[in-house]
Amino acid sequence: MDFWDLAKLLARRWSITAPLLVITGLATVFILQDVKPDYIATTSVQLIPPNPAPSNILPSQEKNYQNPYVDLGLDALMRAASLSLQGKATEDGLKAAGLSKTYTVTNSDFAPLVTIEVVGDSPTKANATVDQLANLLNQRIADMQRSRGVKAQGMISSERLVSGDTLVKSNTKVVRAGVVIGVAGILLTIALTVAFDALLRRRAAANIERVAPHAPTLGAMPGGVALPALSAPQPQTYALPGADAAARAADETSVLNLQYVSVDKPPASSVPVMLDVDPTADHDSSARAPEDETIVLPLAGGRWAAGKGKDQ
């Protein structure tokens, strides 16, 4: 069954398809009332390198401006710090605080910049989660430098570029839920319609099989048409012509043997029977004459032999 056959089946069984589609639409609207939209909050954090050491600094104070992450690169520090936000410990802490666990941390390829995007089921939760993640990132950047003995003069600082109201309402979840419910309802409608159509066809075939044995048929023809049985023809008896003429011939002693032939003459209401005769075959008279047919010849000396015999 291709798409066109399926479309014709659904159109033919519209009494089933239409109510199911209406139920699908009502169910979609009813369920979507309980699906709430998402809210997306976004922020970005950038690293700021430390101030260079003064030119007149004493040699004993130069170590206060040394920072191994400056030589390694600010991108290395940012990537290392952002990895801490993607651990299970961070997710567990957010869950314990009643915040959202759905967020992404993206590192820029051109600058020591990190973008944090949080998806929450309410505006308050989304904003609180993005603030918490930004604070955790700043704290992680400072802790990593302190662990390397970096002094305050040589500390790499972080700056939050985007703060405040960056909330965006997203209906993606609502649309996704509507598409899933609608597709599921359409597939269910198609399945139930096909199953109901198959059930009706099976019942129709069973009714034909139940009624068929009670009607005499010659067999099922293509298309399911049954032909009625023909009644058997009754034999009838006919006499060969010439019997009356032989009886009126008083001076003849010959006897005409009457042969009674049983001819099957079909009734007028019966279907004509067509004989398969080959027109090219050699049909002689001896082959057509029956073996027990009697031919009467005139006797010598009689009136028939002299040409005087005639029918009286």
Q: What is the pLDDT of residues 237-263, one digit of tens each?
A: 544 455 455 445 544 444 344 444 444
Structure tokens at 267: 């009734």
Closest by CA to 116, choosing from 95, 84, 129, is 129
Closest residue by Cα to residue 183 from 193, 175, 173: 175
Q: How far apart, in whole angstroms, are the C-alpha atoms of residue 48 and residue 51?
A: 9
Query: Nearest to residue 219, comparing CAs of 209, 229, 206?
Result: 229
Within the chain, all domains assigned CATH 3.30.70.1130 are found at 38-51+60-170
**Residues 24-36: tens digit of each pLDDT:** 888 888 888 888 8
Please, which pLDDT band fits residue 287 given cuts at 50, 70 and 90? very low
Instruction: Please state which of the four CATH numbers 3.30.70.1130, 3.40.50.280, 3.90.1150.10, 1.10.10.10 is assigned to the domain occupying 38-51+60-170.
Output: 3.30.70.1130
Task: Write down the pTM of the prediction.
Answer: 0.53
Neighbour tally for 109: CB within 10 Å: 7
Helix (H) or strand (E) holding 288: helix 285-288
